[in-house]
């Protein structure tokens, strides 16, 4: 992050940095009076770092379901208070997390990977996912909100974590039994880390996972579910996706999948699904994967036995 209290960014940079489209930034300025960037000699917007920081907080709160109409009337202090209030349980900040963030900022990807692999070996897959990976992603999200982390540094961490998790999954895969779970995300979802964590948890519990990766078109999900004779289709839904779009997609998917195939949704975005329609099961967290599997097996043994 460039320092200097009066560091100014053009609108395209703000779009990259915050993920808010240029059109949206302009219309917010017109409607709500915020952000209110400076202008250069030819009238182009130049956003002070402070406003960009506030926009990051706004983005974060919107991902939790709050709406811009309210947020953009608040000043920086009120916004900050709201963010901290809603943050829920203070994330346990460990020495490992600090080390990871440091390695990330100094681009020592290989070192970071080695460190994480070591933790994985020491704690085992389950504890690694629940106590290290999941909190780390939260920490990194917070660090991004505070402007301490570049977007590409977040990408780098994601890459490293994915590599470590894949390696872990590959070493588990041998003893796989039912149910067969088809894991993927919806077409506009680009976050694959949650998916991978879920895959690790499920594989650990002895399920047989087949991952299609991210951004699979609905028709392909359906086709693969049938071709692979999946018992369960599991979707990972991040906080980014618009609730409406997701709801529609999930409903459509449920309609097109064979009735016998269960549909599980996890991730921050899954919590925002209205009342989960029948035939759609929302998992509140990674720790519920195990319970969901137990339930499925109980029902299935009963049905078959």
Partner DNA sequence: GATTGCATATTGTCCTAGACAAAATGTTGA
Partner DNA sequence: TCAACATTTTGTCTAGGACAATATGCAATC
The residues that touch its own copies, with contacts defined as CB under 8 A, are: 106-107, 109-110, 150, 152, 155-156, 159, 162-163, 166, 184, 210-217, 220, 224
**190-229 mask for DNA (x: CB under 7 A)?**
----------------------------------------
Task: Establish if 188 lies at the interface with DNA (CB under 7 A).
Answer: no
Count how many residues are written for the chain: 305
Helix ranges (H only) for 33-94 are 49-63, 68-71, 76-86
Backbone Cα Rg of the chain: 21
DSSP 276: P
CB 268 within 8 A of CB 185: no
Q: Which of 41, 77, 95, 174 binds DNA (CB under 7 A)?
A: 41
In whole angstroms, the minimum distance from the beta carbon of 179 to its own copies comes to: 18
Residue 51: CA atoms inside 13 Å, Cβ hemisphere, count? 24
Which of the choices DNA, its own copies, none does residue 117 contact, using the CB cut-off of 5 to 8 A by kind? none
Q: Which of 2, 4, 6, 30 binds DNA (CB under 7 A)?
A: 30
In whole angstroms, the minimum distance from the beta carbon of 241 to DNA comes to: 10
CB 225 within 8 A of CB 257: yes
In whole angstroms, the minimum distance from the beta carbon of 234 to its own copies comes to: 14
In whole angstroms, the minimum distance from the beta carbon of 212 to its own copies comes to: 4
β strands within the chain, DSSP E = 8-10, 38-39, 45-48, 177-184, 207-211, 232-236, 262-266, 280-282
Give the residue with the Cβ less far from DNA, 41 or 302. Answer: 41
In whole angstroms, the minimum distance from the beta carbon of 52 to DNA comes to: 14
Percent helix, strand, coil in the chain, to 5, is 60, 10, 30
Phi, psi dihedral angles at 264 (to 5 degrees):
-110, 140
Footprint of DNA (CB under 7 A): 10-12, 21-24, 26-28, 30-31, 41-45, 62, 67-70, 242-245, 248, 275
């Amino acid at each position: 992050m460039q320092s200097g209290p009066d560091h100014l960014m053009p609108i395209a940079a703000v779009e990259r940095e915050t993920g808010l489209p240029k059109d949206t930034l302009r219309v917010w300025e017109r409607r709500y009076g915020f952000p209110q960037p400076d202008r250069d000699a030819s009238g182009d917007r130049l956003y002070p770092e402070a406003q960009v920081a506030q926009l990051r907080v706004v983005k974060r709160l919107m991902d939790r379901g709050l709406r811009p109409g309210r947020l953009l009337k608040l000043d920086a202090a009120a916004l900050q208070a709201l963010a901290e209030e809603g943050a829920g349980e203070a994330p346990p900040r460990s020495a490992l997390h600090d080390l990871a963030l440091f390695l990330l900022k100094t681009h020592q990807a290989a070192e970071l990977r080695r460190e994480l692999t070591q933790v994985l070996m020491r704690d085992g897959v389950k504890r690694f996912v629940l106590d290290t990976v999941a909190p780390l992603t939260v920490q990194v999200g917070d660090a991004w909100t505070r402007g301490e982390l570049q977007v590409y540094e977040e990408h780098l961490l994601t890459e490293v974590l994915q590599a470590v998790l894949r390696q872990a999954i590959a070493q588990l895969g041998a003893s796989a039994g039912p149910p067969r779970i088809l894991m993927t995300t919806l077409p506009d979802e680009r976050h694959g880390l949650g998916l991978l964590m879920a895959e690790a948890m499920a594989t650990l519990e002895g399920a047989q996972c087949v991952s299609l990766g991210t951004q699979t078109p609905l028709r392909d999900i359906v086709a693969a579910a049938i071709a692979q004779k999946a018992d369960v289709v599991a979707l990972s839904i991040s906080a980014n996706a618009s609730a409406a779009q997701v709801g529609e997609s999930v409903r459509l998917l449920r309609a097109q999948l064979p009735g016998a195939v269960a549909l599980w949704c996890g991730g921050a975005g899954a919590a925002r699904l209205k009342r989960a329609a029948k035939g759609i099961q929302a998992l509140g967290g990674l720790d519920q994967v195990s319970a969901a599997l137990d339930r499925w097996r109980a029902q299935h043994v009963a049905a078959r036995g």
